[in-house]
């Protein structure tokens, strides 16, 4: 990289004897330069050596060819980088590696380096490293080391013929305790390299970055998939964090996972290459590129929203982008308030007064009405509401019917609409004087697709038992009882049908599955059946007192207790039901068996076979349910005998494990201590 040197004009006048400043190469200078500038002694040589490898490829013109990186491991604790660039002659190595601040890269901006310190960076971590130069037909091996006087030296160790391609290889030993650290910094240091280097001798999986948006020289990532969470500048292959303090820019962009590319030479960097140098030229360059990036992001987001098929779809894009857990939230927060579709500002929430001059609306919620089923008990003239409040996505998934004044059989047509709603969507029912008054309300709702209720055929009733309409009390729990007011009576005036559930009542008592229950107990029992999935949430259970029970002579309504018992019998296979032990017991047993299966010493067949059985059972999917599972709580109430048998039934895996412990009593006492366990296994083998 070319150096942007300042021009100095000095008027000397009539001077006496002058002397040029010099540098004495000694141990103090070496330690001050190398150890003084590099804060991270592991990251620094990793970054500098790989950057030199990239520069070697740039000089040769093969930047599209990845170089090799050997990450250290416990078995082979060596860090190594091998490039396939221009290589170096003997004279160049003896000169560049033995001269501080000597660099061959200051003539152009094709290469990142220029300080003349990167090749010496291994000394920040180690006192000796190896350089191998492949050039032409020869391979030359050098050792760079710190002499007894503390001054570094480099020496030629060997020279031999080779058929390897040209390039440079730099390597040095790594302390075993630092192996994990070298592997941990690899994704971070190498993130800016394109192409990504070849990682050798290591099961290294690069975290795949997720790109959210990408524009001219900038990329916005999902911050959970990249090793940084702020604004970064990439110059060549090195990433530098951009600090907001030196820049006069007020933007949230500094909190995003954004990488902006800069041509080599545009930004001044610190000597250590660990940070940017904020001189006036660099500040001006950063400011312009950041403002250009914000403008590019704004245009891109406007294009994305503009491509939506409808206003509601555009609003849904905005709402999803600004959601709390959205990775794109920062971008939408910056631009979202300026987004429009068809000249209309977007909204995160769709709100609409349910009463307007000449129009009013009601809502039919799928969670409260059995959509897609014929329920004669459903009141299809629901009470009016004050406002409709929905997200754009919910509004897109809502059916909107408009009933104009003069439409005959409106309630009957709506019943048929509910019958046709097999996807169980919510419904908004608008009644309006005319199209103009309806349009104003529809516009407030985001102009959804709507259906004229007059095109829906009225519901054709299927003839059945001639039973008169009755006013019946029902119960439909939404949660457990917390206060008595939750049990306030609700009534339907309806014609009973054979698909309605009932429970018999005698005064303050109710009868379910042969048990006498209070109203609170019945409420909780029904709620338990809903939680367990035996009956649908929102199902209405009618309470038939002695007078109402005469209905059963004409209509075969469904007895809830008999229905629940039959369905539970189909949902749970009592013959194979296994109730698990407490979680910590299972975890401990499985962990012990996994250790035994990977032991370094031979394990007796009696132990190994049982341990394999335990591990396989833990890994295999099972229908086992915990005793506190909602289904098990209900099953225990309806099938107490079968539940007790399952609870006392011996688990074959647990039984085999206990029998193994009886035969090998020291297994559990030694498995947590590897030397003791190995010694125990050796004793058993004798």
Query: How much is the mean pLDDT over the chain?
Result: 83
Rounded to whole angstroms, the Cα distance separating 383 from 438 reads: 19
Q: What is the mean pLDDT of the segment spanning 649-654? A: 76
- The pTM of the full predicted model, rounded to 2 decimals, is 0.55
- List alpha helices for 78-124, DSSP H: 90-96
pLDDT of residue 467: 62
Tell me the pairing of strands 167-173 and 128-135. antiparallel
Distance in Å from the first CA to the final CA of the chain: 70
In a 10 Å sphere around its CB, with 0-12 CB exposed, 13-18 middle and 19+ buried, how is residue 246 labelled? middle
DSSP 3-state assignment of 53?
A: helix
Taking CB atoms within 8 Å and a gap of at least 24, the contacts of 378-384 are: 378/415, 378/418, 379/492, 380/411, 380/414, 380/415, 380/418, 381/411, 382/429, 384/354, 384/355, 384/360
pLDDT of residue 81: 96
**Is the bond preceding residue 195 a cis peptide, omega within 30 degrees?**
yes
In 3D, which of 613, 595, 601, 610 has the Cα closest to residue 660? 610
Whether 69 and 80 have beta carbons less than 8 Å apart is answered as yes
In a 10 Å sphere around its CB, with 0-12 CB exposed, 13-18 middle and 19+ buried, how is residue 91 labelled? exposed
Instruction: Give the pLDDT band of residue 604 (cuts 50, 70, 90).
Output: very high
pLDDT of residue 380: 46
Rounded to whole angstroms, the Cα distance separating 379 from 356 reads: 23
| Dihedral of alpha carbons 31, 34, 36, 42, sign | negative
Give me Rg for the CA atoms of the chain: 39
How do residues 523-556 score in pLDDT, each as one tens digit?
A: 999 999 998 889 988 899 999 999 899 888 888 8
Q: What is the mean pLDDT of the segment spanning 325-344? A: 83
| Lowest model confidence (mean pLDDT) among 24-33, 349-358, 481-490 | 24-33
pLDDT of residue 394: 93
Query: CA 219 → CA 192, 194, 438, distances in Å?
Result: 12, 14, 45
pLDDT of 210 above 80: yes
How do residues 76-120 score in pLDDT, each as one tens digit?
A: 999 999 999 999 999 888 887 766 544 454 445 455 544 556 778
pLDDT of 131 above 60: yes
Q: What is the full DSSP assignment across 554-623?
A: TS-PEEHHHHHHHHHHHH--TTT------HHHHHHHHHHHHHHHT-SS---HHHHHHHHHHHHHHHS---
Instruction: Give the pLDDT band of residue 370 (cuts 50, 70, 90).
Output: low
Higher-confidence residue of 26 and 366: namely: 366
Q: What is the mean pLDDT of the segment spanning 330-337? A: 80
pLDDT of 390 above 50: yes
Whether 634 and 532 have beta carbons less than 8 Å apart is answered as yes
């Amino acid at each position: 990289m070319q150096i942007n040197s300042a021009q100095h004009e000095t008027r000397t006048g009539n001077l006496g004897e002058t002397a040029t400043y010099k540098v004495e190469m000694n141990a103090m200078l070496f330690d001050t330069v190398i150890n003084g500038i590099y804060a991270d002694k592991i990251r620094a040589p990793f970054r500098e050596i790989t950057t030199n490898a990239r520069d070697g490829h740039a000089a040769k013109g093969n930047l599209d060819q990845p170089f090799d990186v050997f990450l250290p491991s416990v078995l082979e604790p060596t860090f190594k980088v091998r490039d396939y660039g221009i290589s170096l002659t003997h004279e160049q190595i003896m000169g560049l590696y033995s001269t501080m601040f000597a660099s061959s890269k200051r003539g152009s901006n094709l290469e990142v380096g220029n300080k003349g310190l990167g090749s010496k960076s291994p000394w920040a971590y180690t006192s000796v490293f190896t350089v191998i130069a492949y050039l032409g037909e020869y391979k030359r091996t050098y050792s760079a080391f710190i002499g007894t006087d503390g001054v570094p030296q480099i020496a030629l160790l060997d020279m031999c013929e080779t058929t390897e391609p040209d390039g440079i290889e730099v390597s040095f030993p790594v302390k075993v305790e630092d192996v994990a650290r070298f592997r941990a910094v690899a994704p971070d240091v190498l993130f800016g390299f394109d192409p990504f280097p070849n990682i050798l001798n290591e099961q290294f999986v690069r975290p795949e970055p997720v790109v959210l948006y990408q524009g001219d020289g900038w990329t916005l990532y999902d911050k959970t998939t990249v090793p940084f969470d702020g604004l970064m500048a990439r110059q060549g292959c090195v990433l530098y964090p951009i600090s907001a303090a030196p820049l006069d820019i007020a933007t949230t962009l500094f909190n995003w996972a954004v990488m902006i590319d800069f041509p080599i030479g545009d930004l001044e960097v610190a000597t250590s290459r660990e940070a940017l140098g904020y001189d006036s030229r660099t500040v001006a360059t950063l400011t312009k590129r950041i403002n250009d990036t914000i403008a590019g992001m704004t245009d891109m987001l406007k294009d994305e929203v503009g491509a939506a098929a409808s206003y509601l779809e555009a609003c849904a894009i905005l709402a999803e982008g600004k959601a709390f857990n959205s990775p794109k939230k920062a971008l939408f927060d910056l631009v979202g308030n300026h987004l429009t579709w068809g000249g209309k500002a977007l909204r995160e929430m769709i709100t609409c007064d349910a009463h307007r001059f000449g129009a009013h609306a009601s809502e039919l919620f799928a969670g409260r009405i059995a959509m897609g089923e014929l329920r004669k008990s459903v009141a299809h003239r629901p009470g009016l509401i004050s406002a409709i409040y929905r997200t754009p996505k919910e509004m897109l998934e809502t059916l909107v019917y408009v009933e104009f004044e003069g439409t005959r059989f409106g309630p009957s047509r709506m019943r048929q609409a509910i019958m046709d709603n097999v996807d169980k969507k919510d419904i908004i029912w608008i009644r309006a004087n005319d199209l103009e008054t309806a349009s104003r309300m529809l516009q407030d709702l985001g102009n959804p697709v709507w259906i004229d209720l007059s095109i829906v055929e009225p519901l054709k009733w299927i003839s059945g038992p001639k039973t008169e309409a009755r006013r019946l009390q029902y119960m439909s729990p939404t949660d457990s009882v917390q206060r008595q007011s939750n049990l306030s009576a609700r009534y339907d005036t309806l014609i009973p049908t054979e698909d309605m559930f009932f429970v018999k009542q005698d005064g303050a008592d109710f009868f379910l599955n042969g048990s006498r229950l209070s109203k609170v107990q019945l409420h909780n029992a029904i709620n338990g059946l809903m939680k367990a999935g035996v009956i649908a949430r929102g199902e209405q259970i009618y309470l038939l007192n002695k007078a109402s029970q005469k209905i059963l002579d004409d209509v075969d309504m469904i007895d809830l207790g008999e229905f629940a018992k039959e369905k539970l019998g189909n949902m749970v296979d009592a013959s194979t039901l296994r109730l698990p032990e407490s979680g910590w017991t299972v975890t401990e047993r499985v962990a012990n068996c996994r250790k035994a299966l990977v032991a370094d010493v031979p394990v007796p067949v009696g132990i190994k076979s049982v341990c394999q059985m335990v591990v396989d059972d833990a890994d295999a999917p099972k229908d086992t349910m915990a005793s506190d599972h909602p289904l098990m709580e209900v099953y225990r109430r309806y099938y107490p005998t079968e539940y007790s048998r399952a609870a006392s039934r011996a688990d074959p895996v647990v039984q085999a494990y206990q029998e193994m412990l009886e035969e090998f009593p020291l297994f559990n006492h030694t498995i947590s201590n590897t030397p003791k366990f190995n010694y125990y296994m050796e004793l058993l083998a004798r």
